[in-house]
Amino acid sequence: MTTIRAEWTKLRTVRATWWTVLAAVVLMAATAGQLAIYVANGNTNDDPSDDAGVVPLGSVLIDSLELVQYAVLALGLLMITSEFTTGTIRTTLQCTPSRGRVLLAKAAVAAAVTFVLGLLLGAVGALVASLVLGEWGAAPVAGTLRDVVALATYLALIGVLALGLGAVLRSAVLTLTVLLAVLMIVPLSLREPDITALHRIADAFPGEAGQHLLAGDGQPYPPAVGLLLLAGWAAVALLGGRAALRRRDA
Amino acid sequence: MITLRALTKRFGETTAVDELTVDIGPGRVTGFLGPNGAGKSTTMRLILGLDRPTGGQALIGGQPYRKLRRPLHEIGALLDARTLHPARSGRAHLSAMAASNGIPDRRVEEVLATVGLDDRAAAKPARALSLGMGQRLGIAGALLGDPPVLMFDEPVNGLDPDGVRWIRQLSRSLAAEGRTVLISSHLMSEMQQTADWLVVLGQGRLIADAPTAQVIAGSGLAVRVRSPRPTELAALADRLTAAGAVVESGGTGELTVTGSTVERVGELAYELGVPLHELASHEASLERAFMALTADHVEYPAGTGGASA
């Protein structure tokens, strides 16, 4: 608990944290607004009451996330990579010699912060999308709420994934590059040739698992499996980070 | 009490710390001396568990650092001052350190007052602090947990004369309270005034572990030689060095010789026909004692005619 308090103190006392939060919110508002405009413009039906062309707000949120998630990821990975660039890792390990405790505390703070930020982003995105869509947007309370919570959970887990990866790679740029590859480029490339085995492998990647968690569809696996897969990725990244912190000189 | 047992650290081919066995005892200021690259900072990082030893162990109060739950209560350390986040204020830095070891926030204000950082300085982002203020902040961090062991790596770096005097008094009063105080430095003159005990390191190996006075006395007397003829003087220096003495050039036409005697130097000068304007014995300083001790251990000797500090 003391280590968690220390990590929270460190995170909130650097202005860059709040700039990142602000950037994520602005990005969410802009992206959700733009996607909502596309939906409204692309709609050829002129009678909302017959239901064709009406979009649930949640789907706009989920599509916006593809871009917005990188601002949130930055928060998770900067919690550790900035310690290496500034040398504060030495102070941190001097205060808490157990590498596992340090990383777990960071993970707890990263998950909590990105979860709350996810809720905020969901609310902002839903508000903007509903304003733009007007009667072309559908906002069933339970469905939208579920989408927002799923979105926040997804962000919390990839935030932890980014943190663990950052502990292994130490450099922010390198970590972000690897994340981009793991979340988007690799699974997309795997799907390029139409081979079933490659599709199955692509399904297991964290970005894909997240998509299934968010979309709530049953194919190829239910959202709960997507959640478990994501959690597994985050756990493996943390274990890797702990091993790296233990083995290497600080 | 810091206990080092056959502590060894190798980086690839180079051995930074070599089978170091020494006890740093309580109630006195121990000076940790050695030329650059002797392994002082590496030893300190090994004590703090930041580097993993290749062999042996470092214990604080009988425990390895990585086993300590609340280490700030056991040992306080100032490493290089650049372990601060440039955008975080000094107060927030200390506050996070305190939180990690369950130390109340009011203690942060206490140590800030102890090291003489006022509210304005404590609120500044670390990038706006001078090197001296950064050192004071680092010492504040070391004092947070009121630990029985303190370890400062080159604490007077970047301090003005007032700051240097302050560190000296602080170290002495901490030792007088019965704490273990270990201070590394390459400034021998500073150690002579501050340290009661010296641990001298050369190429990662222990060269001396004795009271300061004994280390100085052990080096014998120094002999000062002056001559208006530099060429002949250089020949004298070569002969003395060949005979096992340590010769230090003190400016044009001047030599300081340790590990020899006034008689021997005088006879040699006569033999070589060197006209002398001065031949006198001086009480050795720590500076010279240190040079005599580490003469064989300097990684990059500063040319012939003796190493310079």
Handedness of CA B69, B72, B78, B82 (dihedral sign): positive
Summarised one tens digit per residue, pLDDT across range B244-284 is 788 888 778 888 887 778 888 899 999 999 999 999 877 66
- Asked if the model's pLDDT at residue B294 lies above 80, the reply is no
B86 in reach of chain A (CB within 8 A): yes
Give the nearest partner residue to A14 out of B83, B85, B141, using CB atoms.
B85
pLDDT at position B115 over 80: yes
Query: What is the average pLDDT across B176-194?
Result: 87
Strands (E) across B61-216 are located at 63-64, 75-78, 149-153, 180-185, 197-202, 205-211
Is the pLDDT at B196 greater than 60, yes or no?
yes
Same fold, B2-210 and B221-283: no
Q: Which residues of A touch B99 (CB under 8 A)?
A: 2, 5-6, 9
Q: Which of A183-192, B47-56, B127-136 has the highest mean pLDDT?
A: B47-56
- Integer Cα distance of A135 and A52 in angstroms: 12
**∠B60-B176-B189 over CA atoms, to 5°?**
90
Q: Which residue of A has its CA nearest to B141?
A: A91
Q: Is B303 helix (H, G, I), strand (E, B) or coil?
A: coil
- Which residue on chain A is closest to B66 by alpha carbon? A97
Mean pLDDT of A48-77: 83
> How much is the average pLDDT of B168-179?
95
| Tokens read off for A22 | 């602000």
| Strand arrangement, sheet containing B246-249 | B246-249, B254-258, B222-226, B278-282
Tell me the percentage of chain B whose pLDDT exceeds 90.
Answer: 58
Nearest beta carbon to residue B84 from set A7, A88, A250: A88
Mutate to test the interface with A, among B67, B69, B100, B151 (most CBs of A within 10 A): B100
| Residue span of the structural domain in which A150 resides | 2-247
Instruction: Report pLDDT for B117.
Output: 93
User: pLDDT tier at A55 (50, 70, 90 boundaries)?
Assistant: confident
Length of chain A: 250
Residue in B closest to A86 by C-alpha: B85
pTM of the model: 0.83
Secondary structure of A113-126 as H, E, C letters: HHHHHHHHHHHHHH
How sure is the predictor about A211, in pLDDT bands with cuts at 50, 70 and 90? Answer: confident
Contact status of B63 with chain A (Cβ, < 8 Å): no
Residue written as token pair 């919390």: A156
Q: How far apart are CA B71 and CA B85, in angstroms?
A: 21
pLDDT of residue B306: 39
| pLDDT > 90? residue B94 | yes
Poorest-confidence range of A34-38, B139-143, B209-213, B301-305? B301-305
pLDDT tens, residue by residue, A169-210: 999 999 999 999 999 899 889 988 888 889 888 889 998 888
pLDDT over 70 (residue B298): no
A129 pLDDT higher than 70: yes
Q: For chain B, what are the domain ranges?
A: 2-210, 221-283
CB pairs under 8 A between A and B: 86
All residues at 6 or more sequence positions from B104 whose CB lies less than 8 Å from its CB, including other chains: B98
A92 contacts in chain B (CB < 8 Å): 100
pLDDT (0 to 100) of residue B305: 42
Nearest CA to CA, how far is A102 from chain B (Å)? Answer: 10
Position B143 scores a pLDDT of 97
Q: What pLDDT was estimated at residue A45? A: 67
For residue B159, what pLDDT is reported?
Answer: 83
Strands B149-153 and B180-185: parallel
Residue A167 contacts by C-beta under 8 Å, 6 or more apart in sequence? Answer: A80, A103, A238, A240, A241, A242, A244, A245
Binary contact (B85, A3; C-beta < 8 A): no
Looking at the structure of chain A, the number of domains it has is 1
Q: What part of B 233-272 touches A (C-beta under 8 Å)?
A: none
Q: Please tell me the predicted confidence (pLDDT) of residue A108.
A: 97
The residue written with tokens 């109060």 in the block is B61
CATH entry, B221-283, from 3.30.70.790, 3.40.50.720, 3.10.20.30, 3.40.50.300: 3.30.70.790
**Among B119, B157, B155, residue whose Cα is nearest residue B139:** B155
CATH architecture, domain defined by B2-210:
3-Layer(aba) Sandwich (3.40)
Residue B307 has what pLDDT? 37
Mean pLDDT over residues A15-43, rounded?
90
- Inter-chain touch A9–B95, beta carbons under 8 Å: yes
Q: How sure is the predictor about B190, in pLDDT bands with cuts at 50, 70 and 90? A: confident
C-alpha distance from residue A68 to each of A27, A29, A124, A160, B82 (Å):
6, 10, 12, 16, 34
User: pLDDT digit string (tens) for B76-89?
Assistant: 999 876 688 999 99
Spell out which residues of chain A touch residue B77, defining contact as CB-CB under 8 Å.
Answer: 94
Q: What value does the mean pLDDT take over residues A138-154?
A: 88
Rounded to an integer, the average pLDDT of B212-234 is 81
* The pLDDT of residue B287: 65
